[in-house]
Amino acid sequence: MSPRLRLVLLSFLMLFVELALIRWTGSNIVYLSYFSNFVLLGSFLGIGVGFLRARARVNLFLYAPVALAMLVGFALLLPVEIDRSGDELIYFGTFQTTGLPPWLTLPIIFIAVAGLMAMIAEGVGRQFIQFESLEAYRLDIAGSLLGIIGFSVVSFLWAPPVVWGVITGVLFLVVLPVRRLLQIVAVLGLVFMLGRESVVPEWSWSPYYKVAAVTADDPDITHIGVNGIPHQAMTTIQARLDREPIYFLPYQRTDTGLENVLIVGAGTGTDVAIALDQGAQHVDAVEIDPRLQQLGAERHPERPYDDPRVEVHIDDGRAFLERTDRQYDLILFALPDSLTLVSGQSALRLESYLFTTEAMEEARDHLASGGAFAMYNFYREGWLIDRLAGTLDAAFGHAPCVDSVGGVGRLAVLTVGLDAGTVDCPNEWVASDVVAAESPATDDYPFLYLQERGIPGFYFVTLGLILVASVAFTRWASGPLGQMRSYADLFFMGVAFLLLETKAVVQFALLFGRPGS
């Protein structure tokens, strides 16, 4: 194999494994679904350490397949999932989990990821130094881009983890300088473990999640979980009415006709079935995850997606609102929750830009005369209802109607009409938390679930521990830290890179929902 091709393949392997770790570990360890950047930062640290060891006597790249197999084995043997003993769905707030506690699981994962990526990056670095710098960078960037493209392709093809494992295993066997029995066994073990996970009948993989579909004792109820978190249930209209009649309130609060209805977060189709049952003549069902919609089309007992009145759109809800010119009698945000946040933290979520002031104004502008907007979710915090209700008040010019089960902070529906008299409202919203009501999320600050502006203390503690680990790893790989003073400019370049990356992630999340802007 030519040295240039070898460097391209090594760089491909490094980026492919990094992305696979971010995606796969979060599907088995729920803490990482909430903090995916934890794996990313571990990868960054490991890659830097690996390049520092490019001239080391012992080649740790030889043991990278073993390290990867051990990491996969740990996550499969000790998975962390939401432990739900009742029927209540988890959308916001505290929860009970299986597996090891976060204070033990997260450090183990961080160190394991950093060590693994250091081994792989060392292989890249040893090949890198064989070229002139600009030539090495060119080949490295080419391989890295191919790795990103490759993983994106297998993700959007809904490929299960065994495919990722086969690609990684083949690359290891191709680029390893020597192939001993230990490496071959590790690769085979990796493929076997991921293969077992990939053939579980209840599990499938969407571009976003590991999706579990489990039929309950009642064959008309199928529970859907994503990344180890209970998410939704496919059930009949009558069962929903008997158990949770609150889902029917948006239709009861308005007396307008239902010629056109928009449902954002259509999921497996129960909300669509309810809209049809309530007389909708046309339903635009918007769902971002194609696998969830496919499950509904295949297995929902009411078969709502087979109805000719339903038009399915696999799209982001905000993006769809930006594109469509249709006016609706009812717009419903039906549990559009990505389930990737711990209470009080400020992560950006898939649905973050659905709940900003600008998004509510966009929904308002798509209502027909006499139309209404409604949203419901499991709001575990009372101040969150105040924030959303305050946002609707500001966007529509009058207070919404609030109905809740179990008091504020539980399952609640907020309904507001285009005109003040459109909605029959026995429970008009009155703010209990004025600060939350007067500080809505905006496109410039889309952190709906951050109660107060600022950086949560958890982040300071976490970043401090990561900094300590980084210093220790760097000292081990490079020797005395004093000799690195001359590289201070590279440190600040790295800080600038992280700032630009964060800014790009936030802005692209909005721009992809605003075509043409």
pLDDT truncated to tens, each residue of the chain (517 aa)? Answer: 899 999 999 999 999 999 999 999 988 888 776 666 788 889 999 999 999 999 999 999 999 999 999 999 999 998 876 554 333 333 334 455 667 887 788 889 999 999 999 999 999 999 999 999 899 999 999 999 999 999 999 998 999 999 999 999 999 999 999 889 999 999 999 999 999 999 998 999 998 889 999 887 777 788 888 887 777 888 899 988 888 888 899 998 887 789 999 999 999 999 999 999 999 999 999 998 899 999 999 999 999 999 999 999 999 888 899 889 999 999 999 877 654 433 333 455 656 788 899 999 999 999 999 999 999 877 767 788 889 999 999 999 999 999 886 654 467 899 999 988 888 888 899 888 888 888 998 888 888 877 777 777 777 887 888 889 888 888 888 888 777 788 788 888 888 887 887 777 666 666 654 433 3
Same domain as 191, residue 242: no
In single-letter form, the type of residue at position 350 comes to L
How many CA atoms lie within 13 Å of 220's alpha carbon, on the beta-carbon side? 10
Same domain, 16 and 128: yes
Phi-psi region of 70 (alpha: psi -120 to 50; beta: other; left: phi over 0): alpha
- pLDDT value of position 515: 36
Residues 192 and 254 both lie in one domain:
no
DSSP string for residues in 127-194: HHTTS-HHHHHHHHHHHHHHHHHHHHHHHHTT--HHHHHHHHHHHHHHH-SS--HHHHHHHHHHHHHH
Predicted pLDDT at 463: 81
Residues 6+ apart with CB under 8 A from 376: 246, 247, 250, 333, 334, 335, 411, 412, 413, 414
Rounded Cα gap, residues 29 and 228, in angstroms: 8
Nearest one of 368, 380, 386, 285 to 341, comparing CA atoms: 380
- The count of structural domains within the chain is 2
Report yes or no: 361 and 329 within 8 Å, Cβ to Cβ. Answer: no
Q: What is the CATH number of the domain that holds 308?
A: 3.40.50.150
Q: Which domain holds residue 30?
A: 3-199
Tell me the pLDDT tens digit for each residue of 444-500: 888 887 777 777 777 788 788 888 988 888 888 888 877 778 878 888 888 888 788
Q: Which of 437, 464, 480 is the last residue of a domain?
A: 437
Same domain, 194 and 251: no
Does residue 180 share a domain with residue 31? Answer: yes
Instruction: Please tell me whether residues 160 and 292 are part of one structural domain.
Output: no
38-55 tens-digit pLDDT: 888 899 999 999 999 999
pLDDT of residue 309: 97
Task: Indicate if 172 and 262 belong to the same structural domain.
Answer: no
Q: If you search the block for the tokens 């020797």, which residue do you land on? A: 479
Residue 419 DSSP symbol: S
DSSP class of residue 228 equals T
Query: Based on the domain organization, do 39 and 150 belong to the same domain?
Result: yes
Q: Are residue 44 and residue 165 in the same domain, yes or no?
A: yes
Smallest CA-to-CA distance from 215 within 201, 196, 205, 228 is with 201
Q: Give one word for 479, left, alpha or beta, with left for phi > 0 and alpha for psi -120 to 50.
A: left
164: which 2 tokens?
């990722």
Cα–Cα dist 300/223, whole Å: 11
pLDDT recorded at residue 326: 94
- Same domain flag for 115 and 250: no
Name the pTM for this structure: 0.85
Q: Which residue has the tokens 């979710």?
A: 377
CB-side neighbour CA atoms (13 Å) of 491:
10
Give φ, ψ of 54 to 5 degrees: -60, -25
Whole-number Cα distances in Å, 313 to 263, 288, 319: 10, 8, 11
Q: Which residues contact 395 (CB under 8 A, 6 or more apart)?
A: 357, 360, 361, 363, 364
Q: Give Cβ neighbours of residue 468 (< 8 Å, ≥ 6 apart).
A: none
Using CA atoms, how far apart are residues 450 and 276, in angstroms rounded to an integer? 36
310, 336 contact by CB (below 8 A): no
Last residue of a domain, one of 199, 222, 250: 199
Q: Where are the beta strands (DSSP E) in 278-436?
A: 283-287, 310-314, 328-334, 367-378, 401-405, 411-417
Furthest C-alpha separation in the chain: 78
Q: Is residue 506 part of a domain?
A: no
Give per-residue burial for 243-254: e unless 16+ CB within 10 Å, then b: eeebbbbbbebb
Q: Cβ(23)–Cβ(156) under 8 Å?
A: no
Among 378, 408, 437, the domain-final residue is 437
Strand 367-378's sheet: what is its strand order? 310-314, 283-287, 261-264, 328-334, 367-378, 411-417, 401-405
Any domain includes 53 = yes
